[in-house]
Structure formats: C-alpha cells, structure tokens
Structure 1
Amino acid sequence: MAISEFEIKRYKKIVNHYIESHRPEPHIRNQVDLSFRIENQSVIIFEIREVWNQPGKKMESPIAKATYVKKTNSWKLYWQRADLKWHRYEPTPEVKTIEVFLAVLEKDEYGCFWG
C-alpha cells in the first residue's frame, strides 16, 4: 500500500474538515449530503441523495477523485462525466498535496465538480 496509516489519518482529518465546511444545513441532510471515503490510494468525494420516488433509499453521486502516485509523490485529479467514467481534470491534472486538490475542487475552474 502506497499510503501509510499515519498519512491516511492525516488525509481523513484534512478532507473531513473540508467536507464539514461544505455540507448542507442539518435540516436537509436527510435529503442531500456530502461525504468522502479513502479507497486504496484514492480520496473520493461524493454527494448522497435520496433516490427519486424511493423514500429512504440513498444513492451516491461521485464528485471528485484524487489518486496518490508514490513514484511522483503527487495526486492525479479526476472528475466523473455522464458516461460514469473517471476522466483526468485537464485544467489541473496533477497536484503535489491533498490541500491543493481541495483548493482545485473549491475553485472548480471548468465547472466539472460542482456544475
């Protein structure tokens, strides 16, 4: 595994802080919310919504993914298109830190992440 347990804890803390500052108001979180997970070397940020006309059933819609590449000590950035495949984020395809990934996500220069 390319990311150590110490680094995973650090990344969780940083990303969790970002997510908490961008979550919707508490009274609508049962309808729409924001979360993340770490899978292998990737941090995936996604939206959680109720499935239309299926109350109580939730679905996740991916927003962004950053994958750590140990060889280059950098993060590759991705967004998910309508074809449901991850595509490199061309304005900024690679960054050096998870903090810069979150800054790119926040800026969303081409409207790929937040629309």
Structure 2
Amino acid sequence: MELFWEISQNQRINQASSAAESASSKINRLEREVKELERRLDRLSLACQALWELNRDQAGITDGELQRRMTEIDLRDGTRDGKIAVTILVCPNCGQRSNSRRQQCIYCGQPVPAKHTFT
C-alpha cells in the first residue's frame, strides 16, 4: 500500500516540478518582453521630447498650448484618461467595421486607413 502512495506522491511531485519550470520559463519570457517594452517606451519618450522641443523652439508653441491640445485630444472620446480611444472604422474594401488599432481588415485583409497617425 505504501508503494502506491509513494508512486502517487512522486507523480504529484513531478507534475508540480514541471508546472514550476513552465511558470519560471513564462516569467523569464515576460520579463524580457517587459524590458523590451520599457526600452521602446524610453525611445519613444525621447523622440517625443525632441520633437516637442523642436516645435516649441521653431514654431513658438508654448507648453500650455501643448497641454491644452493633449487634453482636447484626450477628451474626444468623452473620458479624460490619458489615452486616445479606440474607434470603429469602416473598411473601404468590404464595408465591415474594424478596430482602429488594426492596420488590416480582419474580414478581407485589406489595409484600413488610420484615423490618427499614432493609433
């Protein structure tokens, strides 16, 4: 009887060990993805700052004007949440509705023109 119990326990231990290894592997992958996203965010932040300073210096736009425009764009969807809202676009090829974050229609595969440059 003890032999069956030991076999059962060993199977459970092996299953738990396998699950732990899988979770560890997933964590490592997610950590790498987060680091890559942080790197990309840092580069985009740097690019945005450089573009803003060029515009400010060359066009004479003030920081206040930038903040007001950011708020205006943020409120276009009726919610002040610091994000550009996802909108529904109509595919010019097949007429189906598509999410503005997609570059191609999920129905026909044709490119869907973006409503905004950065969405």
TM-score after normalising by structure 2: 0.31
TM-score after normalising by structure 1: 0.32
Q: Which has the higher contact order (CA 8 A, sep 6+)?
A: 1
Q: Which structure: greater strand fraction?
A: 1
Q: Which structure: greater helix fraction?
A: 2
